[in-house]
Amino acid sequence: MKKLLIIIFVQLLIQATLFAQTTNEDRILIETLGPERFSELVSQRSLQSKALIHQAGNSQEATINQATGSSRPNVAIISQVGAINQATLTQQGQGNKTTVAQQGTNNTYNGFISGYNNTTGIVQDGSGNKINQVIIGSDLEHTLVQQGHNNTINQIESTFNSRSYKVVQEGNNMNITIEQSNWGVPVTISATKK
């Protein structure tokens, strides 16, 4: 009987710890996305999986690999604050949502997005940052934003019937390279010197 009570107590303790971790992840997610966007994502009960990584510090690495085998989408969120951080994301499937936010210097985002009806938002604030992304599929929506100096965007696209998208760079010594296999995708590029 004593062993049974100890086992039950340990299980309750583990469940309480897991609940606390989930609650903390949801709090960070709300702060990263904002309450309105968070509510929209949470209301989608048909999500296949949700991945959230929040890192503060230098020389951090975050990797998320998600593939949907059905019509249930994935959500991936990476938030990094510091210097020389690297975020790597691979998403395959349909209806996936991605948000990557990096604040600091010499940070790198590497992404591979494949499928259709996927949404991607990448924001970097700082200097010497790089966005490297490959996008394959159709009906895609993505936004790339960099603020700071000496930042670089490299994107390779092989898309059909995709929505227009936005690329914004604010600062000095900025570089943008976008290779498109479908010339029908409208791109709005905004570059501003600070």
Q: SS in 3 state form for 117-177?
A: CCEEEEEEECCCCEEEEEEEEECCEEEEEEECCCCEEEEEEEEECCCCEEEEEECCCCEEE
Q: What is the pLDDT of residues 80-134, one digit of tens each?
A: 999 999 999 999 988 888 999 999 999 999 999 998 888 889 999 999 999 999 9
Q: Is the pLDDT of residue 44 over 80?
A: no
What is the tens place of the pLDDT at every residue in 185-194? 556 566 666 6
Report the alpha-carbon distance of residue 47 to residue 68 in Å, rounded.
Answer: 10
- Residue 17 banded pLDDT, cuts 50, 70, 90: very low
